[in-house]
Structure 1
């Protein structure tokens, strides 16, 4: 019952006999205190609350029963994981951290990086050996200064062969040396006889704190007199600075009279919903005030919003960013380049624009993340303000799923290009990002100029036996989050909490 939960929140941590442990700020704190925060946060906000019996409002007959339950878990991580609904098939994206400072830095684009963004691949399902290939290099980093470039292959770290079990640990250290390899195709069009040969070349890389600008490359290309804007956008970071830079970039596109746009989201894991709305509004401009997307929360929040503030559930196209007019292109068509690494807010842009304009998706299917999360802190209203100073635990649970104006959602297997636009990146022919001959961009240009020219023969070679099994983004917690930037009214939180 709700009245019982209210008493729990006020009293339980004061009167329970519980174990203590050290948080990362070296303060002793009751394990049950943090467990109480975990349970009440999930009970209040979790999207799949109705599917988790232990989150039911009437789960505990008394405070003693609740205290016993909390004390049955050795750590907040164990409790949190026990409350996740179908981790492998439904909720792949909810997390808890013991250092929300690092989480906040991540959402601001601050990471620790050597500048080498890479993918991991293998040649056979039965072969545990793995190899790395460089996807792109961040400017002003160790990798950039060492001359690492897109398409480079490495087979080992510090002389140790990469495998399916060790590549994460080997590449997680702050300093390491990559052993460069050479991709060999045996002179045949098949990939079943491809392999990587070892060389004596090495490159030593060092990680430092780095703020990644999500705009990696932007330009305007002249295609037979048609001005085609190209933007490689690698994260919906959501800061005021980067949102302003995005608007400035579209201002440059507009000044150049661009009438087509190729938006490269192939490595973009997502981020801020607000930035997704801004980007989509810059692409269009003719739909200001129309529904961009809607939200579906757990049953209690959904009902509360529908009763008191149904507009809160709706995101609309906008024409300004905090009062600054958007530089919108008013396009009726956009080309979006994707891979399996395109997730969350990237998919939100595709799904939400599709009912309004022609979205030509080129590449491969996306990740399949249609749910959004919110950072919950241990405070009375779960916001950053008033957070418990005794620890730095925070949660990032899924709190709603997004739907476009037509109600489309639940794209668990990802969003797919039309069959004639399915084009996987070829490790042997990655091309230069932003170059007209790069295979995915070349496919978009071929549609724009009407030639129907496909990618180069090398990139169309079958690579069915080559599997991409990971990337450097996997080393960054929450890299594929889609999170909201708007505040939930305190009175509505209280209604859900105590009703």
Structure 2
């Protein structure tokens, strides 16, 4: 009846995937409930409202994967434990922020990246040899309570240093400090072998994740608006 969602290395992805995942996890799912509301600039908002109505920018929880007959399971979790790091960004934070009004989301690890916006890809589609494109930020996301104030990241409920003993355990290994903390919260027991490191202060020897490293992977913290992206491109082309 409990779930640990490991998002510590997830720097983003597609909005459609974030909606599907959130829909599987949320407690008492209802397809009439708003997961997120998207905010665009005045020009896009005017054109999209004209074409699709005033609710065009509201994404609800869903029962099926968009455009398919694939059903999304309803786990109906009482709460959700999420493992986070400074690499947890964008679509991952979309899930955290979107679920918070509906269930208890417990964060374990480090403060997240802090990216509450999404983008689309623009390139010369009629030129097959084109190798250049633009990735402009076009949308800001709010949860059902109108909250989007996490540009400095989500602070964990339980701060845990993944590199406390400078050894990375395999995924799912209960000796992993982050997972170990989640399991101790779920079971109510203390994991003695690593209890001393579960809440230790961060050390200067911790693996450094610098801005330079992030720049080497420009799509690392990207969230693609694949829900309304094509329609937005048509508005831009006007």
> What TM bracket, shorter-length normalisation?
0.7 to 0.9
Aligned to 1:304: 47
Q: Is the 8 A contact 1:269 1:341 kept in 2?
A: yes
User: Which among 282, 292, 295 is matched to residue 24 of structure 2?
Assistant: 282
Aligned counterparts of 1:397 and 1:282: Cα–Cα separation in 2: 30
- The residue that corresponds to 1:416 in the other structure is 155
Q: Judging changes above 3 Å, is the alpha-carbon distance between structure 1 residues 492 and 371 closer, same or farther for their aligned structure 2 residues?
A: closer
Match of 2:196 in 1: 457
Q: What's the CA shift string for 1:276-327, capped at 9, x where partnerless? A: 1111111136232311111111121123334442332111111111211112
- Deviations for 1:358-379, whole angstroms, at most 9, x for unmatched residues? 101111110011110001122x
Max radius of gyration: which structure? Answer: 1
Alignment partner of 2:119 out of 366, 370, 373 = 373
SS in 2 for 1:320: coil
Say if 2:2 and 2:79, in contact at 8 Å, map to a contact too. yes
Q: After TM superposition, give the deviation of residue 328 of structure 1 in Å.
A: 2.2
Unaligned runs of 5+ residues in structure 2 are: none
Partner of 2:227: 486
1:14-413 paired onto structure 2 within 5 Å: 259-284=1-26, 286-309=29-52, 310-321=54-65, 322-378=68-124, 384=125, 387-389=126-128, 391-413=130-152
Q: Is the 8 A contact 2:13 2:224 kept in 1?
A: yes
In structure 2, C-alpha distance between the alignment counterparts of 1:272 and 1:460, rounded to whole Å: 33
Which has the bigger relative contact order, CA under 8 A and spacing at least 6?
2
Q: How far does residue 356 in structure 1 lie from its aligned partner after superposition?
A: 0.4
The whole-number CA distance in structure 2 between the counterparts of 1:281 and 1:488 is 21
CA distance in 2, matches of 1:365, 1:451: 25
**Aligned twin of 1:62:** none
CA distance in 2, matches of 1:492, 1:422: 41
Distance in 2 between residues matched to 1:492 and 1:346, nearest whole Å: 24
- Residue 429 of structure 1 deviates from its aligned partner by 4.5
The structure carrying a bigger strand percent of its residues is 1
Q: Which ranges in structure 1 are unaligned for 5 or more consecutive residues? A: 1-258, 379-383
Of 425, 431, 434, which aligns to 2:172?
A: 434
Match of 1:447 among 172, 176, 185: 185
Aligned-pair CA distance for 1:462: 3.6
Instruction: Determine which structure has the larger helix proportion and give its number.
Output: 1
Q: What displacement does 1:484 show?
A: 1.5
Q: Secondary structure at the match of 1:266?
A: coil
Please give the root-mean-square deviation of Cα atoms over the aligned residues, in Å: 2.6
Cα offset for 1:412? 1.3
Greater shift in the superposed pair: 423-432 or 273-282: 423-432
TM-score by length of 2: 0.85
